[in-house]
Amino acid sequence: MSPRPLLICGTRTFAVEVADLASEVPGVEVAGFVENMDRERCRDLLLGMPVAWAEEAASLAASHDFVCALGTTRRSRFTAQMEGLGFSAGTLIHPGARLSPTSMVGAGTIASVGVIVAAQTAVGRHVILNRGVLVGHHTTIGDHVSLLPGANVAGRCHIGDGAYIGMGALVLDHVSVGCDSVVGAGAVVTKDVPDRVQVLGVPARVVKEDVAGR
């Protein structure tokens, strides 16, 4: 069965990057973009393609899939809206990524160039695995997690739903990062991180609590 046309949720710079990524994935046809915050952005084409207002795109749900290209911790609101309108999530895996055949990747996940997912790992739904991300063996990545370029999560780790792992951050073996927590760029996480905190530094330390998550 041929893949269905793909809608990209979002109209900012990361959405443009995801469209570029999709152009190199065999069989994927990007049909346009979807906006749900600024209706003015629906007036003009983006990369020569239409931008639909979310509620008005519902008629396409039976024939199109979507991925969400918001590089923030709150994209779950957009994915829930699209699924509520009847859309199914697609999965976008660049041919330059290597995912072990013993691992699983949830619907809506985007895996960019240079991503490696090792053996016996579970990646959740609507996860962003940005350029050069490494995910170790027997690791669990929750839903709506963002792993920014060059992030390295080692083996037997657990990354909770909605967590945000910054550029070049390192999470050591057997360590957990809690739901909705933020690991700053370049941080080295050597011990478990609780839910809804921000950690920075080498080794990473809590610098903020009660982080607003999804």
In this predicted structure, what is the pLDDT of residue 19? Answer: 97
Q: pLDDT by residue (tens digit) across 166-195?
A: 999 999 999 999 999 999 999 999 999 999
What is the distance between the alpha carbons of residues 160 and 205, in angstroms, rounded to a whole number? 18
Every domain of the chain and the residues it spans: 6-90, 93-201
Q: How confident is the model at residue 92 (pLDDT cuts 50, 70, 90)?
A: very high
In this predicted structure, what is the pLDDT of residue 21? Answer: 97
Architecture of domain 93-201: 3 Solenoid (2.160)
**∠ at Cα 176 (210, 204), nearest 5°?**
65
Task: Give whole-number Cα distances, 110 to 52, 55, 172, 197, in Å.
Answer: 21, 23, 23, 25
Burial 120-152 (b: 16+ CB within 10 A, else e): ebbbbbbbbbbbbbbbbbbbbbbbbbbbbbbbb
Phi, psi for 199 (deg, rounded to 5): -125, 145
In this predicted structure, what is the pLDDT of residue 25? Answer: 95
Judge whether 6-90 and 93-201 match in fold: no
Q: pLDDT by residue (tens digit) across 152-166?
A: 999 999 999 999 999
CATH superfamily of 6-90: NAD(P)-binding Rossmann-like Domain (3.40.50.720)
Residue 129's DSSP bridge partners are 111, 147
Q: Report the first-to-last Cα separation within the chain, whole angstroms.
A: 34
Q: pLDDT by residue (tens digit) across 97-119?
A: 999 999 999 999 999 999 999 99
Residues serving a catalytic function are 137
Q: In this model, does residue 73 exceed pLDDT 90?
A: no
Q: pLDDT by residue (tens digit) across 111-140?
A: 999 999 999 999 999 999 999 999 999 999
pTM: 0.96
Average model confidence (pLDDT) across the chain: 96
What is the distance between the alpha carbons of residues 204 and 160, in angstroms, rounded to a whole number? 17
Query: What does DSSP assign to residue 56?
Result: G
